[in-house]
Amino acid sequence: MKIARPRLLVASLVAAVVLIGAYAVWQVSSDSGTDSEVDAALEDSQDRSLPDDEFAIEPIPELDGDAFPDATLVDRDGNEVSSASWLGDTPLVVNFWFSTCVPCERELADFAEVAAEVDGDVRFIGVNPLDTVPVMERFAGERGVEYDLMRDEFAELQSALGVTFFPYTVFVSSSGEIIDQTGVLDADGLRDHVDALLEAENQA
Q: pLDDT tens digits, residue range 90-139?
A: 999 999 999 999 999 999 999 999 999 999 999 999 999 999 999 999 99
- The residue ranges of every structural domain in the chain are 7-41, 64-203
Q: Which residues, 6+ apart, have CB-to-CB distance to 91 below 8 Å? A: 121, 122, 123, 171, 172, 173, 174, 179, 197, 198, 200, 201
- At the top level of CATH, the class of 64-203 is alpha beta
Q: Is 146 helix (H, G, I), strand (E, B) or coil?
A: coil
pTM, two decimal places: 0.71
Q: Which amino acid is at 82?
A: S
d(CA 154, CA 8): 9
CB-CB neighbours of 44 under 10 Å: 8
Confidence band of 79 (pLDDT split at 50, 70, 90): very high
- As a whole-number percent, the residues of the chain with pLDDT over 90 amount to 66
Q: Pseudo-torsion of CA 41, 45, 48, 50, nearest 10°?
A: 160
Strands 168-172 and 123-128: unpaired
Q: Does residue 181 or residue 50 have the better pLDDT?
A: 181
pLDDT bracket for residue 62 (50, 70, 90): low
pLDDT confidence band for 61 (50 / 70 / 90): low
CB 128 within 8 A of CB 163: no
Contacts of 157 (CB under 8 A, 6+ apart): 69, 71, 73, 83, 94, 127
In three-state secondary structure terms, 4 is coil
Is 164:139 a contact under the CB 8 Å cutoff?
no
Kindly indicate the confidence band of residue 72, based on its pLDDT and cuts at 50, 70 and 90. very high
Return the pLDDT at 53.
40
d(CA 135, CA 47) in angstroms, rounded, equals 20
Using a 10 angstrom Cβ sphere, with 0-12 exposed, 13-18 middle and 19 or more buried, the burial of residue 184 is buried
